[in-house]
Structure 1
Amino acid sequence: MPNVAGKWDCVVNSPLGEQKSVLTVNDNGDGTWSGDNTGTMGGLSCDNGKVDGNKITWTMDMKVPMPMTLECDATIDGDTLTGGVKAGAFGTSPMKGTRVSG
């Protein structure tokens, strides 16, 4: 089973430019995970975290700069994370990350 847990330095290429953050993934061992995502615009709780092999999905309720639910997915390959963040009508922005601990 792939190890998805850890802290990940991530960059999302969003409509507002590059958004850097640290994603914390705590594998609950039952197909779910919990954690948070902290960046320059503050921290968000990661909700509805699911693990399927080396793929993770989750949602985040963003308040700033406008309220919306972000739908996120990522594939983990060793210490590399690639995926996307769907922000409603703004579409999906690519995300990449590197494990910094875990």
Structure 2
Amino acid sequence: MTIIGDWDVGIRTPIGSLQILYRFTERDGAVAGSAVGDAETVPLTDIDVDGPRVTWKQTVTRPMRLKLTFDVEVHGDALTGHSRAGRLPRSAVTGVRRVRHA
């Protein structure tokens, strides 16, 4: 699956830019994930991979409690798309896969 791995992701929100580490793994054919930020680590839910398109949901509590939905496309070691928190405007999402060193 194209999303598996660690990703350095930038999210441009109306209140500023965030840098988050996203970690996607595969176990028994299912994708799991987590988001690691400065303030907290949260699990990803409802991860759906459809070719290059990947969607998921997550809840954050800092700096405020929000339920986020993500919709991105993966092309090689890059991803682009957007996230949305309820009725707030969409936030641009870009990321690059971390290279694993042997």
Q: Same fold (TM over 0.5)?
A: yes
Q: 1:23 aligns to what?
A: 22
CA distance in 2, matches of 1:6, 1:101: 9
Matched residue SS, 2:2? coil
CA distance in 2, matches of 1:74, 1:27: 18
Q: 2:39 aligns to what?
A: 41
CA distance in 2, matches of 1:42, 1:16: 18
Q: Which runs of 4+ in 1 moved over 4 A?
A: none
Q: 1:74 aligns to what?
A: 72
Matched residue SS, 1:90? coil
Count of aligned positions: 100
Q: 1:14 aligns to what?
A: 13
Deviations 1:18-38 (A, max 9, x none): 1001111123464x5211011
- 1:101 Cα offset (Å): 3.8
Match of 2:56 among 55, 58, 61: 58
Matched residue SS, 2:98? strand
Matched residue SS, 1:19? strand
TM-score, normalization by structure 2 = 0.87
User: What is the RMSD of the two structures over their aligned residues, measured on CA atoms?
Assistant: 1.7
CA distance in 1, matches of 2:99, 2:53: 18
- 1:41 Cα offset (Å): 2.7
- 1:65 Cα offset (Å): 2.2
Distance change in 2, residues 1:20/1:92 (3 Å): same
- 1:44 Cα offset (Å): 1.5
TM-score, normalization by structure 1 = 0.87
Contact 1:8 1:101 in 2 (8 A): no
**% identity of equivalent residues:** 26
Distance change in 2, residues 1:23/1:73 (3 Å): same
Match of 1:93 among 73, 91, 94: 91
